[in-house]
Structure 1
């Protein structure tokens, strides 16, 4: 006999939401036999957590100190069915017959929460939990992780100035004069969206008697926890050359480096986790690397100059190797990540990825835009008869004491 289980059925199949938007869906309970139920509740939780270790030196002694910080953005619980009070608890006792039972809900997310993020030592996660309370047995529970996005629009900012960085090092030989190896990297603007190609100009000048190693361009993500701990993730790489001989100067204009789906830049230093990006040119040597880098901003709204752009939700780049397994088998207690995680380890959020080229099929099937007069009439008609979707689901009953109203 199949055990009873509960699952979430969301109207937004992608499980990707903007801050301030509504989550609409239903908690579905499937029973193969009647059971006694005291109540049904749903919980929404958003939190950020980071933990790292650092070595503190005192004279000749060293001590490893472990740090852990957490921020809670919301933690709300709602009763979907039954009666509950603070003094007595769950008062309802009712036998639900076999079959499928659906408990609709809707929940408005806070508008000022940060974007979902998964890192090595920290994360920003949002989850919903459904709970069927049984007075005479184990409670039935299900939990879903979902993605929350926060728009970052920098089109009105003056960020179109040329960016450039230069680095050089002196190379000494055994029986000859010292030589010099220099590199530089430049970009025509500062902000980009996922899916956009970077038009990078790179130069390497080898005025020495030694051969340098591989030259490559990289997009790096710089994550800072608590303003003190930082680590770097390589998001994308483009190899320019395997080696550069002595006396040779090379110049590239590379547009093969594309920004992968990733979290928009987080520049608010008051948050627990801040995220920055840079484009670097690295020239390798046996003893060290020559490094030049320019900072960039990853946004969620494309530049006006890019023209037509369509987008889809795609998995974030750095988590892809670890998050291909999906946990979707229902049980008494299970965690699902909507096909983007294994429920126990890393969770891969989904971010906007833009397609900045107009496909031929889209041009052929493009419907002619109405004239100015018809467009104005359509707009006026929409204002007179607005569509209200607020009654598609039942409003949630109850709210946690510390939560603000988000109806």
Structure 2
């Protein structure tokens, strides 16, 4: 039978690395081949390829119209990003093509839209997927189908002024339980920029002022928020992807974080350009007060794909484009770096004496080339000796009579 002759039917994407699936972005060319392996001669009507990309959301909610009436409300929407068709095999005159036994490969290639696509995503109430579907039509046989997804990641460069801008905030609240007030607790926090990439460490600078009569616990979280939108209704799912727990702050005490580190796990990048699906991140700095609700301060984050450029690109480019934010300076938490160690604790006396002798000998050897250097080069090296110590008593009284006298005296 015809079904027995088709031993292999597969889609293989071209990849620069072996055993590593390719990743694409808008404007890239997706290429590959469709592999057919036949055990015997087979007749084929056509072999067609269809590339698609959609963002889809769907969820249900139970509704009640009365004491005895209940129904389910469905919500759904979709956005199309890719729709390409290509014929890989089909005779021009509509006749059947006979393929001999063996392995056959049919290459394909198409370009993704130049418009900004949306990063592939899988969520609880929706997804963003891209795939290639191939259909094999044969006479007197059911249509064979195969589908294979590919990944699209839209680049997010955090080396932009908006994402390199520092983020800061302050918040306070009165801690109450029933009719009793325990006092006020406040939190001030800042981070050096808004954009980060997975694997980076975020130094958190924060100050916790506990004016209550109870001990509090400061914490920090990285929160991912998935938002699904359909028919004017929103569905959200929040999850904690990283946690940082601080030390207990006693009553009437204050605690300061001088760059406490919280690491970003391998999460997907932010999705901000899709109409029905959004993936957003935030740094949440909280104070857990026993007996009452938490005090939380939220700082927005953007998880990108292109990491921070080296060699201080922030100070060179962003400082010229961003004006100084006085509010940021006023609420800045002082950073107190540790003092450097004493020289004697790092270098022993023997090592110090050896280095001094080495420098002295090197200076003696280099005197041969002094006259070849310009005179002005030595101006900065010259140092005046300090003036002698002033004294009311003449150290050389015997020289008084030897000094010249004025003729009018």
Smaller-chain TM-score bracket: 0.5 to 0.7
Counterparts in 2 of 1:5-404, with a 5 A limit? Answer: 5-12=8-15, 13-53=20-60, 65-83=73-91, 91-112=94-115, 113-153=117-157, 155-172=159-176, 178-213=182-217, 215-226=218-229, 228-234=233-239, 236-241=241-246, 243-252=248-257, 253-258=259-264, 260-266=266-272, 268=273, 271-284=275-288, 285=290, 288-305=293-310
Q: Secondary structure at the match of 2:187?
A: strand
What is the deviation of 1:177? 5.5
CA contact (8 A) 1:173 1:209 kept: no
Partners of 2:114 and 2:57 lie apart in 1 by: 22
Residue-by-residue CA offset, 1:326-361 (whole Å, 9 max, x unaligned): xxxxxxxxxxxxxxxxxxxxxxxxxxxxxxxxxxxx
In structure 2, list runs of 5 or more residues that go unmatched.
Answer: 314-409
Name the CA shift for 1:36/1:7 in 2 (closer, same or farther; >3 Å).
same
Name the CA shift for 1:197/1:75 in 2 (closer, same or farther; >3 Å).
same
Partners of 1:235 and 1:5 lie apart in 2 by: 44
Q: Which has the higher contact order (CA 8 A, sep 6+)?
A: 1
CA contact (8 A) 2:119 2:271 kept: no
TM-score normalised according to structure 2 size? 0.64
Name the CA shift for 1:175/1:20 in 2 (closer, same or farther; >3 Å).
closer
The more displaced of 122-131 and 278-287 is 278-287
CA contact (8 A) 2:222 2:241 kept: yes
Partners of 2:310 and 2:166 lie apart in 1 by: 16
Highest CA radius of gyration, 1 or 2?
Answer: 2
What is the deviation of 1:122? 1.0
What is the deviation of 1:48? 0.7
Name the CA shift for 1:149/1:169 in 2 (closer, same or farther; >3 Å).
same
The more displaced of 256-265 and 5-14 is 256-265
Q: Secondary structure at the match of 2:307?
A: coil
Partners of 1:52 and 1:80 lie apart in 2 by: 38
Number of aligned positions between the proteins: 300
What is the deviation of 1:63? 7.0
Partners of 2:195 and 2:179 lie apart in 1 by: 47
The more displaced of 175-184 and 119-128 is 175-184
CA contact (8 A) 1:114 1:149 kept: yes
Residue-by-residue CA offset, 1:242-295 (whole Å, 9 max, x unaligned): 7444333222222232253412341x4x72223322111133456533211111
Partners of 1:106 and 1:53 lie apart in 2 by: 39
Q: Secondary structure at the match of 1:203?
A: strand
Q: Secondary structure at the match of 1:4?
A: strand
In structure 1, list runs of 5 or more residues that go unmatched.
Answer: 86-90, 309-407
Partners of 2:113 and 2:282 lie apart in 1 by: 30
TM-score normalised according to structure 1 size? 0.65
